[in-house]
Amino acid sequence: MTGVAAILGAGVIGAGWAARFALMGWEVRVFDPDPAAAARLDRVMENARRALPGLYDTPLPPEGAVIVVDRISQAVRGAEWIQESVPERLDLKRTLYQKVQEHCADEVILASSTSGFTPSALQGPAARRCPVLVAHPFNPVYLLPLVELVAAPDAPADMLDRAKQVLTGIGMAPLHVRHEIDGHIADRLLESLWREALWLVHDGIATTEEIDEAICLGFGLRWAQMGLFETYRIAGGEQGMGHFLSQFGPCLKAPWSHLTDVPELTDELVRTIADQSDAQSGTRTIAELERARDTNLVGLLRALKWTGAGAGAHLRRFDAARQGAAGDIARPIVTQDRAVPLDWTDYNGHMTESRYLYAFADATDRFMEMIGCDADYIAAGNSYFTAETHIRHLAEAHAGQRFRIETTVLEGAGKKMHLFHRMLSGETLLATGEHLLLHVNLETRRSCPPGPDLAHRLSRIATAHAALPRPDGAGRAVGQKPG
């Protein structure tokens, strides 16, 4: 599903929403009276183009147009989704909604990025009733999937369903907050940690850098994969959460934290925190920190995707829903269509040589699935093993660059499967990979004929591909000249 999204306010969050919608194929209209908004939007779009496509192993749709407009009416008229991301001032938001309602469609989804206000508070005495949802994301919106979705008790029944469908379609993971509450769920948790961190600095217990190290090197790594409760369940050992609570529950009565107390943000404390934070970041600019953050997030998210843990399960589901079929077997079969992830690049700024093999291996795995050598077939005791590989590196590929792999079957009879992969970006040939595989019984670890259904499907494709011109470079060896 794609359509038109109106973004009202192009700060860090609003610009992130614009990037997420646009890279998922939506037309995006952005309104922000700030003269610096367009430049900020351009920077966020550049970061998103570099990072987001590499999260997925399937292609994103063609990028939608991003149009900066001068008036609210130009942004919202005809839009299916309106996302408000203006500063956290209730009077400003309510005034904006009244202006929006003069021009938007009755059935539009009007959502706020607010981190604290409830939908009932946001709606206020509007001139025409247009229900406001809360769709609270996390920065950077174009990478982090969570969005807290909150509706007022009297919101139309179908509104949440439509909102969930849109958000899921742009790769986000909506979390329905069932009851209105200030701060929703995640920010209430974050605020508790933030309050305690302020006290630790205020009392001279720890610096900003030491607090960040405690998070990054310790529990933060655990939380990224299994959250709070599952982490503590493991801490209870084989006896589980009940045992953990019986052991550590009494500690909740100990004065370990200040809970909801907040130190007064005096000029001295603000200056201390600011000075420590500046020293912690060193000479790195905000743009450099954003790039480093995105690179690290992509690496973490892809690692979680590999295991299917935490946010990785969400990314897997998104890819699976977009996986294409084999298509016309009379042509080379597209077995990969994706972008180069950030963690696939090296010190030269292009895709490192080991990742070409990784991409070709993924193409081989995808082809195996297409002919029936899938998880069930392998679980039944048979698979293909690669016996020989030859890769030619012909052109550079950079982070975020989209590429596809077209696979030709050179031989597909008996125990052998001989594949030739061509990696292309547009019409530019980046690399080729030639792979000889043998069908193997996983119990004996010896070669054997494939099952009849698989053999038939492979034979059909091999016969069709035999009519194609032999791919340039097939049969090459290292150092061998063309021809």
Binding residue ranges? 9-14
Sort strands 428-441 and 446-447 into parallel, antiparallel or unpaired: antiparallel
Torsion of CA 133, 139, 140, 141, to 10 degrees: -10
Contact 30, 75 (CB under 8 A): yes
> Sheet harboring 132-137: ordered strands across?
66-69, 27-31, 4-8, 81-84, 109-112, 132-137, 146-150, 173-176
CA atoms within 13 A on the CB side of 246: 7
Question: What contacts 381, CB < 8 A, 6 or more positions away?
Answer: 441, 442, 443
Q: Could you tell me which residues come within 8 angstroms of residue 338 by beta carbon, excluding any fewer than 6 positions away? A: 53, 54, 56, 57, 58, 59, 402, 403, 404
What residue has token string 């061509």? 422
Instruction: Kindly give the residue spans of alpha helices, DSSP state H, lying in 24-84.
Output: 37-51, 72-76
d(CA 38, CA 318): 30
Q: How far apart are CA 394 and CA 296, in angstroms?
A: 29
94 in Cβ contact with 132 (< 8 Å): no
Rounded-to-integer distance, Cα 105 and Cα 87, Å: 24
Residue 60 CA to residue 266 CA, distance in Å, equals 48
Q: Which are the contacts of 456, defined by CB distance < 8 A and separation ≥ 6?
A: none
- CB-based contacts of 101, cutoff 8 Å, min separation 6: 126, 127, 128, 130
Phi-psi region of 402 (alpha: psi -120 to 50; beta: other; left: phi over 0): beta
Binding-site residue numbers for NAD(+) are 9-14
